[in-house]
């Protein structure tokens, strides 16, 4: 394994010095006002480029560094559907931003309360908090450990009778350092450090792609030759976004893990095109347009124009992960498959030459360690840490905002602003402690990106439905919203309950193949368990629409005066004119350019 040089360590130290310098500046800035607007939304004074970079950097976290690159190594560009969701950010910019900025809300549940009722706000806040702790924080910690274990494998720390290896040291270091600067500087620190982290991340990850292609091309080769070699070794199937509706050969193999003798299940997964085409946008629109974790950065804008331009900027940046994460994963696979890199080959492939899904999670950090020269490696490692920390910082700040604004302020409505800020800091600290406590649960996990997309497929539909239908139809009421949320989440939990025992036994190396838990073929539970998660998500989506519309029309109309300006049907002419004045032809041209780039990617990745 290639070790980090002193130059690399100096660059990493410089990165941390910049991050904590910004956090200290943000702390001093926020200390002057001590208001919730300053702490949670940076005083609503962020520029469009800062918003765009902050949205992108907060999104690019552990599931990309570890999970998405790993998915590229095993499934090629299949998961690029989710990364080509840049158009969802254009929906945020042109459709949802005017309503959010007009309402001046702090959180997404708060918007739901204004549109429907306080009960709906509470339900969404509670679900969001639990989801942040068990997904965003958990996978961020796990990925931090994976990165450290690959790049600094021989580090250990003994505390009494407990010895921590590099995985545990990395996990704890990432979450503690992130928690410190998030608690110090609030949203301003998160946003401005994210802007710097975006630059480091994009440059560093682009270097991984470039040097990876050069390594694949061989000595004296060019990037073009490396790309041709990648297409040769990966094959047309890994370059194909459009998978069959009911793919053949989706099988599970019970095989040994390298020379350890341990047995595990390996799956030949697939992603049918109709599920990705129609289900993936539901997840995308939920995540990019209604999730507190993302939209909080947009809420920090000075006005509607800045919020829209920030969203368009992040849409352009969102096109990059296909080339700086998925492609490097495929490059790692090609280097291993071709035998050009012994370390990659020994780590990622089994005795039969097939890629192992759990080991593929190391693809990106392994590529960093193996193909990058001294100095550049330090920049890229700083970029890795930037992505991990930015993703966690966003989750910390969003969780603190949800707890403080949607719960604490309701219980103690007369709490002074200064005290509310300190409650937010304490809430962030609690999130850090919960994240640390969660490390033993997630250690040894695999398939992060697939796991997250599956969970989000069950979580997203009801939230997507109540937000978008609530904006487009003034007739839908609070009871319809509440029942759509309840039914949607119940269906999602049901699927998880059906899947869990199967996954536990399949992933347990101590379980013999003939004793693995499975439902009787053709039974109801077997059908639910074997339905592609995208198809099940579409089912939840359609049921939620039906429930919301039927219940709303069976009950009283909402008081339209109370939801003025929150739906298209209640907008005044003044509202429309004010919104129209916030954009010009350059905003339209930039949006059209993003759409053209997305279309080009879909046309290119056809196998």
Mean pLDDT of the chain: 78
Q: Is the dihedral of CA 49, 50, 51, 52 positive or negative?
A: positive
What are 563-605's pLDDT values in tens digits?
A: 998 999 999 899 899 889 999 999 999 999 999 999 999 888 8
Cβ pair 321, 68 in contact under 8 A = yes
Q: What is the 3-state secondary structure (H, E, C) of 210-233?
A: HHHHHHHHCCCCCHHHHHHHHHHH
In the chain, the domains with their CATH numbers are 6-604 (1.20.1730.10)
Cβ pair 363, 345 in contact under 8 A = no
Q: Is the pLDDT of residue 43 over 60?
A: no
What are 317-340's pLDDT values in tens digits?
A: 898 888 888 899 899 888 988 888
Count other Cβ atoms within 10 Å, centred on residue 89.
31
What whole-number distance in Å separates Cα of residue 407 and Cα of residue 396? 16
pLDDT value of position 416: 78
What are 564-574's pLDDT values in tens digits?
A: 989 999 998 99
What whole-number distance in Å separates Cα of residue 32 and Cα of residue 186? 13
Question: CB neighbours of 215 closer than 8 A, spacing ≥ 6?
Answer: 226, 331, 335, 340, 341, 370, 371
Calculate mean pLDDT across residues 266-279.
Answer: 62
Least confident of 44-48, 97-101, 519-523, 529-533: 44-48
542: confidence class by pLDDT, cuts 50, 70, 90: very high
Helix (H, G, I), strand (E, B) or coil at 475: coil
What whole-number distance in Å separates Cα of residue 158 and Cα of residue 177? 20
Q: Is the pLDDT of residue 162 over 80?
A: no
Q: What angle do CA 135, 141, 145 make, to 5 degrees?
A: 140
Q: Which residue has the tokens 């094959």?
A: 235
Q: Which phi and psi angles does 160 have, rounded to 5°? A: 65, -120
Rounded to the nearest 10 degrees, the angle between the axes of helix 327-337 and helix 166-217 is 80
What are 543-552's pLDDT values in tens digits?
A: 999 999 999 9
Q: What angle do CA 596, 599, 602 make, to 5 degrees?
A: 155
Q: Is the pLDDT of residue 66 over 50?
A: yes
On the CB side of 305, CA atoms within 13 Å amount to 8
């Amino acid at each position: 394994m290639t070790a980090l040089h002193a130059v690399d360590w100096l660059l990493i130290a410089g990165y941390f010095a910049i991050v904590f310098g910004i956090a200290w500046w943000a702390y001093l800035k926020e200390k002057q006002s001590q208001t919730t607007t300053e702490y949670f939304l940076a005083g609503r004074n962020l520029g469009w480029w800062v918003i765009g970079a902050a949205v992108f950097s907060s999104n690019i976290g552990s599931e990309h560094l570890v999970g998405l690159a790993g998915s590229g190594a095993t499934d090629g560009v299949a998961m690029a559907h989710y990364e080509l969701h840049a158009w969802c950010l254009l929906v945020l910019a042109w459709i949802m931003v005017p309503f959010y900025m007009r309402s001046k809300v702090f959180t997404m549940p708060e918007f739901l309360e204004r549109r429907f009722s306080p009960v709906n706000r509470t339900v969404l806040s509670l679900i969001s908090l639990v989801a942040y702790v068990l997904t965003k924080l958990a996978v961020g910690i796990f990925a931090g450990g994976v990165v450290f274990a690959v790049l600094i494998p021989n580090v250990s720390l003994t505390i009494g009778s407990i010895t921590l290896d590099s995985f545990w040291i990395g996990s704890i270091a990432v979450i503690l350092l992130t928690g410190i600067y998030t608690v110090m500087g609030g949203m301003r620190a998160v946003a401005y450090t994210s802007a710097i982290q975006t630059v480091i991340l994009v440059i560093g990850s682009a270097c991984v792609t470039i040097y990876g292609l050069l390594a694949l091309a061989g000595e004296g080769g060019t990037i073009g030759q490396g790309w041709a070699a990648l297409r040769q070794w990966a094959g047309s199937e890994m370059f194909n976004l459009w998978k069959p509706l009911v793919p053949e050969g989706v099988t599970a193999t019970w095989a040994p893990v390298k020379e350890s003798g341990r047995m595990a299940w390996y799956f030949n997964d697939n992603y049918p095109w109709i599920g990705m085409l129609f289900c993936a946008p539901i997840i995308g629109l939920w995540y990019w347009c209604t999730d507190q974790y993302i939209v909080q950065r947009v809420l920090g804008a000075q006005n509607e124009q800045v919020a829209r331009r920030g969203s368009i900027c992040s849409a352009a940046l969102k096109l990059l992960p296909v080339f700086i994460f998925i492609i490097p994963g495929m490059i790692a696979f090609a280097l291993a498959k071709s035998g050009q890199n012994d370390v990659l080959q020994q780590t990622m492939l089994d005795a039969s030459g097939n890629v192992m899904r759990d080991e593929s999670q190391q693809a990106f950090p392994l590529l960093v360690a193996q193909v990058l020269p001294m100095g550049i490696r330090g920049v890229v490692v700083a970029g890795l840490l930037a992505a991990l920390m930015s993703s966690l910082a966003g989750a910390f700040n969003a969780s603190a905002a949800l707890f403080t604004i949607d719960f604490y302020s309701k219980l103690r409505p007369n709490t002074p602003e200064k005290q509310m800020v300190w409650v937010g800091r304490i809430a962030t600290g609690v999130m850090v402690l919960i994240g640390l406590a969660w490390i033993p649960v997630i250690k040894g996990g695999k398939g992060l990106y697939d796991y997250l997309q599956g969970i989000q497929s069950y979580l997203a539909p009801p939230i997507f439905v109540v937000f978008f239908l609530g904006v487009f139809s003034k007739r839908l009421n609070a009871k319809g919203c509440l029942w759509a949320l309840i039914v949607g989440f119940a269906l999602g939990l049901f699927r998880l309950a059906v899947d869990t025992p199967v996954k536990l036994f399949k992933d347990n190396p101590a379980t013999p193949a003939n004793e693995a838990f499975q439902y009787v073929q053709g039974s109801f539970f077997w059908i639910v368990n074997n339905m592609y998660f995208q198809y099940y998500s579409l089912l939840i989506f359609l049921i939620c629409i039906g429930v919301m519309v039927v219940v709303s029309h069976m009950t009283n109309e909402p008081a339209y005066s109370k939801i003025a300006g929150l739906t298209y049907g209640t907008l005044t002419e003044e509202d429309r004119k004010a919104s129209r004045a916030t954009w010009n032809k350059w905003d339209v041209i930039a949006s059209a350019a993003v759409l053209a780039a997305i279309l080009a990617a879909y046309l290119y990745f056809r196998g």
